[in-house]
Chains A and B, each alone.
Chain A
Amino acid sequence: MTVTATPNGFDLDNGGRRVVVDPVTRIEGHMRCEVNLDENNVIRNAVSTGTMWRGLEVILKGRDPRDAWAFTERICGVCTGTHALTSVRAVEDALGIDIPENANSIRNIMQLTLQAHDHLVHFYHLHALDWVDVISALSADPKATSELAQSISDWPLSSPGYFRDIQTRLKRFVESGQLGPFMNGYWGNPAYKLPPEANLMAVTHYLEALDFQKEIVKIHTVYGGKNPHPNWLVGGMPCAINIDGVGAVGAVNMERLNLVSSIIDRTIEFIDRVYIPDLLAIASFYKDWNYGGGLSSTSVLSYGDIPDHANDNSAANLMLPRGAIINGDLSKIHEVDLRDPEQIQEFVDHAWFRYDDETKGLHPWDGVTEPNYVLGPNAKGTSTRIEAVDEGAKYSWIKAPRWRGHAMEVGPLARYIIGYAQGNPEFKEPVDKLLTDLDLPLPALFSTLGRTAARGLEASWAAHKMRYFQDKLMANIKAGDTATANIDKWEPRTWPKRAKGVGTSEAPRGALGHWIVIEKGRIDNYQAVVPTTWNGSPRDPAGNIGAFEAALLNTPVAKADEPLEILRTLHSFDPCLACSTHVMSPDGEELTRVKVR
């Protein structure tokens, strides 16, 4: 048993029992997590391993920078558009390309659509089942469920008959063998706290949300030309605007604009009348479960996004805040410069890569991706079948990014804490209202539940900002400006011989950066630091632990072989794993394997 204090304020004890949580997928890899439990089943050490390597430069080196977005859109099945947006921004930054105001509005609508959609789907489809016991919903009284629903929202679908119908449908599914979609959960685990009626209400809204989400993404079809895989363009957006057009192929006309407008209205309505009330109702039963804060109370980072006006990347122009908070000092927001070689650096002494000097970090423009897959002396198993990694040595395919040497949390909670600390009423007022409604103090925000709550608040914020930019776009079009693209620097002969750029965005799950080096019209280097690189990062030469690891510490686990609490906290980050799990297997493979040693 060894107890170590990390420089960022956590005590680690790698004695006791080791529990391994490993998502099982067809392609080796993704993310795994190992924790040590003490005699009281409390997590005293946490080790997060990114098990697959997917450097973008491997694919992009030598290609046309104007095509990079199309490749980056394919690295992930969920975050497609946000990678494409970040990629075109990196190229435009390198080449000094300005985009038209309409393109800025449309890109913001696309990005906000993704935020609202992703948060909604994350909450109901992935995360709700960490809090909601589906099987318990079967024993709910539909009348009491109706009363509960009507007490928290005026959403019309709330009659006893409606909930009874859903309950009947649910029973049929649970009893139908192969189609028992919910049979795989940890149902009945004592960590579930909701009464049956709240469970039935939440499951009902799970179904409604699944049905509704398809509407939201139609916005991507209108502005991106198609969905999945909407189109993007270096210099603007590829959609032409022809306000008087009727049925014109490809052009955005009045009918399409009105369609977007009505989807935005319905998105606002669903989020504000279903998602937010559900969030509050569920949270009210888990107020005592205040674990999972990790780095959020000390170190958070946001690059900022959603520029109000085109071509102005100053912090004042960004509607999602840019800044860093360190050492828990909310009174000081540090300015973040992604070009400064001293600020963002990636370390590899605990990652399966090789640097000449691994005591130092490298800025992404100087990034090196040279694999070095070796297990540490205390690892268990073999190099092809790892039973337990040695976190004292290299143990992850994720590099460890640091901001001025600090491990940082990124994501909705980070953005909300920074916005709150800035005193921006758009962030501060909803947070204060939420805390008042739940009768909780501000520090309660620094938790798994706080992360989940911030995501919900941000979904609402994003939906309302979609309305803002749609109105702005309409006003601009009506004033006669229909430009959506600037092609002045489309031809490579107009480019400098060598250029460097950085593109950033706030993806639903956190700060995203693409760094590009262009040489003679071709990509010379391309490095992406994704949100899960920040949150899932391994340790660094100083011994700082990353956000996943920090968030898991000191959490009690009710049953060691049912890591519900571990998944709950990891899910609250909305982790991004490489998406290539779509190879079918004939049997119902279990998606997460748990081993207790």
Chain B
Amino acid sequence: MSSPPKVLILGIGNLLWADEGFGVRCVEALAAGWRFPPNVTLLDGGTQGIYLVDQVREADVLVVFDAVDYGLAPGTLKRVEGDAVPKFMGAKKMSLHQTGFQEVLALAELLGGYPAHLLLIGVQPLALEDFGGSLRPEIRGRIGPAIAIAFEYLRDFGITPSPLDRVAAQGVNLPHPALGITAYELGRPAPEQACRVGDARVLSRIPAAAGAD
């Protein structure tokens, strides 16, 4: 029997920007509630761009949780598999800080070692422009269904996570406890303590995100 595939379950996005944190929160929820076999790695990738290329290249099976913009109704889950996952790079970046995950995938392909199996589980976000905010309830409610999609996919690779009785300690590749979703939400300064909104363009985008684009 061949050795089990190396599986990377990766959550990406910035947890400081409301629904942008969906991917990281999915991985956090997975770690808190489930036990995985040793060939599975859970990783909070944050917004790390190029730092993630190597992790991606090492994986045989890659499952990515992210907030995606496919122009769907907010909260809609989008499942994209294999070559349908976009990968491209742009040379006209203003900053290194614009290395998107598509570019991470393109670089992995360019350097060799692209994962044989790839699944993207995305959610259409409701609100992004809320610095210091957390997931909107509608989006948070999609963590469970998103995880179910991942489990169904992973079953084909012989992976069936077992539920944990108690909430587990933080894993090594997860957010620092101060950034755990509960501590993060409870510790947020009140609006009257620290102003939350600044820009009319920002304000204008929140209702726009709720409607069809």
Contact = CB atoms under 8 A, between A and B. Distances in A.
Chain A bound to chain B: yes
Interface of A: 21, 23, 25-31, 52-55, 57-64, 67, 70-71, 74-78, 80, 121-122, 125-126, 129, 134, 173, 178-182, 184-186, 207, 210-211, 213-214, 217, 225-229, 231, 352, 369-371, 373, 383-386, 397, 567, 570-571, 574-592
B55 to A, nearest CB: 9
A567 B94 contact: yes
Contacts of B99: 77, 125, 581
A325 B125 CA distance: 47
Nearest to B120: A584
Given A71-B178, A228-B48, A373-B199, A583 B20 contact: yes
B98 A75 contact: no
A546 B152 CA distance: 54
Contact of B94 (A54, A373, A570, A580): A570
Contact of B128 (A26, A30, A67, A129): A26
A87 to B, nearest CB: 12
Given A26-B69, A59-B131, A178 B178 contact: no
Given A77-B14, A574-B95, A582-B66, 17 more contacts: A53-B198, A60-B189, A77-B49, A77-B99, A80-B48, A184-B91, A185-B91, A207-B110, A228-B46, A228-B52, A231-B176, A386-B201, A570-B94, A577-B97, A582-B12, A585-B69, A591-B92
Interface in B41-80: 44-54, 66-70
B212 interface: no
30 contacts: A28-B202, A31-B94, A53-B131, A58-B131, A58-B194, A58-B196, A67-B178, A77-B49, A77-B51, A178-B88, A179-B109, A181-B89, A182-B89, A184-B92, A210-B107, A210-B110, A225-B172, A226-B173, A228-B46, A228-B51, A373-B200, A384-B201, A567-B94, A580-B128, A581-B47, A582-B66, A583-B128, A584-B120, A586-B68, A590-B92
A190 to B, nearest CB: 17
A208 B55 CA distance: 17
B115 interface: no
Interface of B: 12-17, 20, 44-54, 66-70, 86-103, 106-107, 109-111, 120, 122, 125, 128-129, 131-132, 172-173, 175-176, 178-179, 187-189, 193-202, 204-205
Contacts of A184: 89-92
A197 to B, nearest CB: 21
A180 B90 CA distance: 9
Given A173-B110, A229-B175, A588 B12 contact: no
Contacts, number: 257
A210 B128 CA distance: 31
A575 B122 CA distance: 29
B69 A213 contact: no
Contact of B194 (A27, A57, A211, A227): A57
B157 to A, nearest CB: 23
A139 B176 CA distance: 50
A76 B48 CA distance: 8
Contacts of A229: 44, 46, 48, 175-176
B84 to A, nearest CB: 9
A25 to B, nearest CB: 7
A36 B70 CA distance: 36
A384 B15 CA distance: 25
B89 to A, nearest CB: 4
A286 to B, nearest CB: 18
Contact of B68 (A181, A576, A585, A587): A585
B179 A121 contact: no
A53 B54 contact: no
Given A126-B95, A383-B201, A582-B14, A178 B48 contact: no
Contacts of B68: 583-586
B204 A384 contact: yes
A383 B200 contact: yes
Contacts of A231: 176
A78 B97 contact: yes
A592 B92 contact: yes
A110 to B, nearest CB: 14
Given A384-B204, A583-B128, A584-B100, A227 B87 contact: no
Question: Nearest 3 CB-CB pairs, A to B?
Answer: A77-B47, A67-B178, A371-B198
A573 to B, nearest CB: 9
A567 B92 contact: yes
A71 B196 CA distance: 16
A178 B87 contact: yes
Given A27-B17, A122-B96, A383-B201, A584 B66 contact: yes
A586 B176 contact: no
A83 to B, nearest CB: 12
B110 A582 contact: no
Q: Which of A122, A352, A588 has the most CB of B within 10 A?
A: A588
Highest count of chain A CB atoms <10 Å: which of B45, B47, B54, B188:
B47
A71 B179 contact: yes
A214 B54 contact: yes
Contacts of A225: 172
A466 to B, nearest CB: 18
A575 B195 contact: no
A588 B51 contact: no
Contact of A582 (B54, B86, B101): B101
A386 B202 CA distance: 13
Contacts of A58: 131-132, 189, 194-196
Contacts of B110: 173, 179, 181, 207, 210
B128 A61 contact: no
B95 A23 contact: yes
A580 B46 contact: no
A350 to B, nearest CB: 16
Contacts of B92: 184-186, 567, 590-592
A317 B169 CA distance: 41
A126 B96 contact: yes
Contact of B96 (A52, A63, A78, A589): A78
Contacts of A63: 178, 187, 189
B51 A62 contact: no
